[in-house]
Amino acid sequence: MRTTRFLAVAAASAATALTLAGCAGGTTQPAADVADKPVHEGKLSILTKFAGEPLETYFTDLAKAYEAEHPDVEIEIIQETDQSIKDKTKTLTASQALPDIYFTWTGNWAENFIKGGLAADLSEVIAPGTEWGDRFGEASLEAFQHDGKYYGIPLYNNGKFMGYSKAAFADAGIEVPTSFETLIEACGPLRDAGYEPIAFGNKDGWPALHYLQQLFAYNVPSDVLKADFDPKTAKWTHDGYIHALEQFKTLVDQCTDTGEGTNGVLYTTAQEALAGGRAAMYYQEILEFDTVTAEGSKLSVDDFGIFPLPVPDGAEGDPDAIEGSPEGYLINAKSPQAALAVDFMKFVTEPDSARTLSSPPYGQPSAVDGGVTEDTSSRAVFEGITKVNEASQLVVWLDTVTVPEVADAWLAGGEALISGSAAPEEVLESVRAANDDAK
């Protein structure tokens, strides 16, 4: 388990690295000429979040295809995982070595690069109403909007759901829970039937925040929650936060076999527990659906079901909100290859590429309209993205929607809550202190 001291250092490092974006680029630099006609020669670099199987071949295959069409172009791909890309991006930013194209989450994470002058303004080529922009849903484009300008290229949409084994539920004689309370009640029968009720691994810290953010959306009124994401308006005092923290602790204690030891378990280990038939449920992103039913898994496509984390009784927030957001790519505003970078990303987001991305084995629901269909995507991916599209709102990940100092306070708080070293009010107090420091 990471100590609070380590996380404090990490928070400071993250804030420093992303602040350096302003020093490295700055808004005084000339804007990248993203609308120029591309010259198909030279080297183009891209930092992805697709390292490892089965995702790694997606960008490598596209790069080979693009190079085949344009023999004088060489594409360098830097592949990172969901966890390692955070540190890699911070390191590249601090060393002023960001590639031409780089992965980003929405929220404060992307805004740091936009405000620092390291993200090219793509409005001329991707805003709604442009030829390229019309490939995407407007909500996906607006997720990367800042001060009326469009900076991001949405690659896929995403949302968080409880994945479950229908066979395990049948063995335990239970139905899909319709409230948070019945979810907790279901854990006893599932354990009696020989399953770990909910597989959970929090070694990386963010899996706990995914539970908390969805519970915050349910327990805290939307206007209050949105205000608390901005240190200038944040108070973090609503009782709904305490209720959510208590609910999460109950789930960890009563529904996971690892309990306080969860902080030492990788999320991939939990993922494998569901895929291997040892666990009945695993809280996961749409991006993981095809992974848990991949070839070799005991969990079959037909046996796999999903449902939103159920709403607690008496919750005061939005019962129809879903945690998630599109994820995508920025183009380095200082890149001399900005026009070529735009051309490559147009190639990446062509309809055929979008359908490939949305289909097994990748299962990443493309943000391109028509990319996810019942014919090309797995049943679960199609169902998940349909639920995302029907949600009243998407609530962005807690570790990217707010500033690094507050995000890291939540990371430390989630771990402390799981281990029993801090009570809900103590966790919230540490977040308020971090927020005060960030103002």
Range of the domain at 311: 160-323+399-438
Domain CATH number, residue 118? 3.40.190.10
Strand, helix or coil for residue 325: coil
Q: Label residues 237-254 b or e (16+ Cβ within 10 Å = b).
A: ebebbbbbbbbbbebbeb
- Does residue 187 sit in the same domain as residue 315? yes
Reply yes or no on whether the pLDDT at 339 is more than 90.
yes
| CA–CA gap between residue 183 and residue 84 (Å, rounded) | 32
Q: Does any domain span residue 383?
A: no
pLDDT at 40 over 50: yes
Q: How confident is the model at residue 376 (pLDDT cuts 50, 70, 90)?
A: confident
Q: What's the predicted TM-score (pTM) here?
A: 0.86
Whether 194 and 341 map to the same domain: the answer is no
φ, ψ of residue 22 to 5 degrees: the values are -65, -40
- Whether residue 101 lies inside any domain: the answer is yes
224 in the same domain as 168: yes
Task: With a cut of 80, say whether residue 14 has pLDDT above it.
Answer: no
Please tell me whether residues 273 and 153 are part of one structural domain. no
Residue 24 falls inside a structural domain: no
Residue 112: how many CB atoms within 10 A of its CB?
Answer: 25
Asked if residue 428 is part of any domain, the answer here is yes
Interatomic CA distance for residues 321 and 392, integer angstroms: 5
Same domain for 201 and 102, yes or no, is no
- Summarize pLDDT for 216-273 with one digit per residue, the tens: 999 999 999 999 999 999 999 999 999 999 999 999 999 999 888 899 999 999 999 9
Residue 6 pLDDT more than 50? no
Is pLDDT of 406 > 60? yes
278 pLDDT more than 60:
yes
pLDDT of residue 313: 98
Q: Is 145 helix (H, G, I), strand (E, B) or coil?
A: strand
- The number of folded domains in the chain is 2
The answer to whether residues 141 and 223 belong to one domain is no
* 186 and 261 Cβ atoms separated by less than 8 Å: no
Q: Tell whether 119 and 220 lie within a shared domain.
A: no
Same-domain status, 214 and 305? yes
- Average pLDDT score over residue span 388-412: 94
Domain boundary among 334, 353, 371: 371
The answer to whether residue 2 sits within a structural domain is no
- For residue 279, list its beta bridge partners: 196
Position 384 in a domain: no
Is there a single domain that holds both residue 228 and residue 238?
yes
- Residue 241 domain-assigned? yes
CA angle 7, 13, 16 (to 5 degrees): 145
- The pLDDT of residue 258 is 87
On whether the CB atoms of residues 261 and 418 are closer than 8 A, the answer is no
In a domain, 132, yes or no: yes
State the pLDDT confidence band at 32, using cuts at 50, 70 and 90: low
- The verdict on 334 and 346 lying in the same domain is yes
Identify whether residues 190 and 214 lie together within a single domain.
Answer: yes
Query: Between 27 and 367, where is the model more confident?
Result: 367
Residues 58 and 172 in one domain: no
